[in-house]
C-alpha cells in the first residue's frame, strides 16, 4: 500500500461521485477549506462541519474532512474570526485540516445517500425517483492475440468497462484471424517487417460509460501487446445510465403506522411526523434524503404509497394529504447514514487503488433538534 495525498483521495472519491452529476445548479461542492496538495493518512467523514466535528478531526489526527453539507453554502462577504463561522474556518486552517464537500452529487451517486437510505429501509426493486443525469454509453471492441486476451479483459474491467447494472466484468469474445503487414519503421510485436502476417486473435467487446471511457482506453493501450491496436469505439442507442435524486421501491405490505415505526427503528430517530391514514396498507415507498418538499408530485406520479423525506412544510403536507400521498418525515439528519456508508465505500476504493488511508465515520451528532 502506498502513501497518498489529498488530491489522490479526492480523485478516487470523484471516480465514484463526480461533480458533474450534481443535481443542483451552483451547488457549492468541492474543496471548501484548505489545500489537497499535502499528505493525507486519515479522513473524517461527516454530515456537517461544526466546531465539535473539527475537534473530533483534530483528536483523530485527520488531515481531511469529507462532508455532505457544504460548510460554506453562500458566498462570504468577509472572513471575521469574531463570529462562529469565521472561528470555525480559522480552526480548520490553523490545524491544517482541509474540508471537501460532496452535496447533491453524493445524493445522486450509485451507493450514495439515497441508496443508503433505501438500503436502511430495506426497500426492494429500487429505481431512481427523479432522473437528473443521463450518462452516454459506448461499446469498445478491440482485437488482441488469443494469449493476451485475458490480461486485457481484466485491465478493462479494472478501468470500469463492462459494468452492466449489478454486474461487472461483462464482455463478449469472438475468435478470428488478424492479418497485417508491418512497414518500414515499425517494431511489430509479432511478424516481420515487410511480410504479410496472420495471427490468431479474438475480438473483445465491452460497454463503457462516458465517465470511464478515457480510463478504459488508457487501460487498453497500456495492456495491449501491439504498438498499434485495432479497435472500434461507438456510441450506443440503447438506454444510457440514468441517475438522479431519491429512490422508489417496495416492502412487504404493512400499515402506515407499522411502516412509521419501521422508519423510526431502521433510521434510528426518536420520532417521525406522519401524514395520512395510519391504518392504510402501504407497499410502494419513495425516499429522498434532505428536503423533499419539491418532489411530492414526482413521488405521487411514480405510484408511491408513502414518501419518506425531511423538512416537510405545513402547506406541502396538506397538498400531499389532499392527493392521497402518505408522508413520513424522519427529519433531515437521517442523511447521516452517509458517514458509515462513505467511509466503507472509500476504504474499498482505496484498497483497490492500493492506497493507504484510514476513513473514520464521525461520531458527532449534528442534529440541532431535541425531542421532549
C-alpha distance from residue 175 to each of 153, 179, 203, 205 (Å): 14, 13, 6, 12
Number of domains into which the chain is organized: 3
Which of 185, 211, 239 finishes a domain? 239
Burial environment of residue 246 by CB neighbours within 10 A (0 to 12, 13 to 18, 19 or more): buried
Residues 6+ apart with CB under 8 A from 12: 346, 349, 350, 353, 355
Whole-number average pLDDT of the chain: 95
State the average pLDDT over residues 195-221. 93
Name the grid cell of 95.
Answer: 490545524
Same domain (yes/no): 219, 254? no
Instruction: Identify any residues that bridge with 288 across adjacent strands, giving them in sequence order.
Output: 309
pLDDT at residue 189, rounded to an integer = 86
Q: Which domain holds residue 292?
A: 113-132+244-330
pLDDT at residue 74, rounded to an integer = 85
Same domain (yes/no): 195, 164? yes
Same domain (yes/no): 320, 248? yes
pLDDT at residue 278, rounded to an integer = 98
Q: Are 110 and 243 in contact (CB under 8 A)?
A: yes
Residue 38 pLDDT greater than 90, yes or no: yes
Q: How confident is the model at residue 9 (pLDDT cuts 50, 70, 90)?
A: very high
pLDDT at residue 79, rounded to an integer = 87
Q: How much of the chain, in percent, has pLDDT values that exceed 90?
A: 85
pLDDT digits (tens, 9 = 90+) for 48-74: 999 999 999 999 999 999 999 999 988
pLDDT at residue 154, rounded to an integer = 95
Same domain (yes/no): 143, 125? no
CATH of the domain at 294: 3.40.1390.30
Residue 3 DSSP SS3: coil
Question: Within the chain, where are the H helices?
Answer: 6-16, 51-59, 84-94, 104-108, 113-120, 149-158, 213-223, 256-267, 296-301, 314-322, 337-352
Name the grid cell of 252.
Answer: 412487504
Amino acid at each position: 500500500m502506498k502513501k497518498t495525498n489529498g488530491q489522490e483521495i479526492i480523485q478516487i472519491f470523484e471516480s465514484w461521485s463526480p461533480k458533474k452529476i450534481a443535481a443542483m445548479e451552483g451547488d457549492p461542492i468541492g474543496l471548501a477549506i484548505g489545500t489537497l496538495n499535502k499528505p493525507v493518512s486519515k479522513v473524517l467523514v461527516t454530515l456537517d462541519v461544526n466546531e465539535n466535528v473539527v475537534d473530533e478531526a483534530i483528536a483523530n489526527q485527520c488531515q481531511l474532512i469529507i462532508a455532505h453539507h457544504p460548510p460554506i453554502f453562500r458566498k462570504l462577504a468577509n472572513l471575521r474570526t469574531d463570529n462562529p463561522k469565521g472561528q470555525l474556518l480559522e480552526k480548520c486552517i490553523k490545524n491544517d485540516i482541509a474540508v471537501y464537500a460532496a452535496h447533491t452529487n453524493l445524493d445522486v451517486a450509485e451507493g450514495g445517500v439515497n441508496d443508503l437510505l433505501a438500503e436502511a429501509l430495506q426497500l426492494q426493486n429500487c429505481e431512481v425517483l427523479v432522473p437528473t443525469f443521463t450518462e452516454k454509453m459506448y461499446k469498445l471492441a478491440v482485437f488482441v492475440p488469443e494469449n493476451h486476451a485475458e490480461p486485457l479483459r481484466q485491465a478493462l474491467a479494472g478501468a470500469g468497462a463492462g459494468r452492466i447494472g449489478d454486474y461487472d466484468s461483462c464482455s463478449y469474445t469472438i475468435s478470428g484471424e488478424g492479418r497485417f503487414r508491418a512497414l518500414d519503421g515499425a517494431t511489430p510485436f509479432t511478424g516481420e517487417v515487410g511480410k504479410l502476417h496472420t495471427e490468431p486473435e479474438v475480438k473483445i467487446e465491452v460497454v463503457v460509460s462516458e465517465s470511464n471511457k478515457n480510463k478504459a482506453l488508457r487501460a487498453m493501450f497500456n495492456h495491449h501487446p501491439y504498438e498499434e491496436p485495432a479497435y472500434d469505439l461507438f456510441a450506443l442507442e440503447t438506454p444510457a445510465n440514468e441517475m438522479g435524486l431519491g429512490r422508489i421501491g417496495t416492502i412487504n405490505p404493512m400499515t402506515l403506522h407499522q411502516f412509521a415505526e419501521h422508519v423510526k427503528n431502521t433510521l434510528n430517530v426518536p420520532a417521525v411526523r406522519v401524514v395520512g391514514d395510519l391504518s392504510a396498507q402501504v407497499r410502494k415507498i419513495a425516499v429522498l434524503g434532505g428536503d423533499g418538499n419539491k418532489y411530492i408530485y414526482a413521488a405521487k406520479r411514480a405510484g408511491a404509497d408513502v414518501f419518506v423525506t425531511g423538512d416537510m412544510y405545513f402547506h406541502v403536507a396538506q397538498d400531499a394529504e389532499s392527493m392521497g400521498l402518505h408522508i413520513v418525515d424522519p427529519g433531515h439528519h437521517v442523511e447521516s447514514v452517509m458517514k458509515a456508508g462513505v467511509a466503507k465505500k472509500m476504504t474499498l476504493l482505496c484498497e483497490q487503488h492500493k492506497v493507504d488511508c484510514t476513513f473514520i465515520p464521525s461520531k458527532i451528532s449534528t442534529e440541532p433538534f431535541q425531542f421532549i
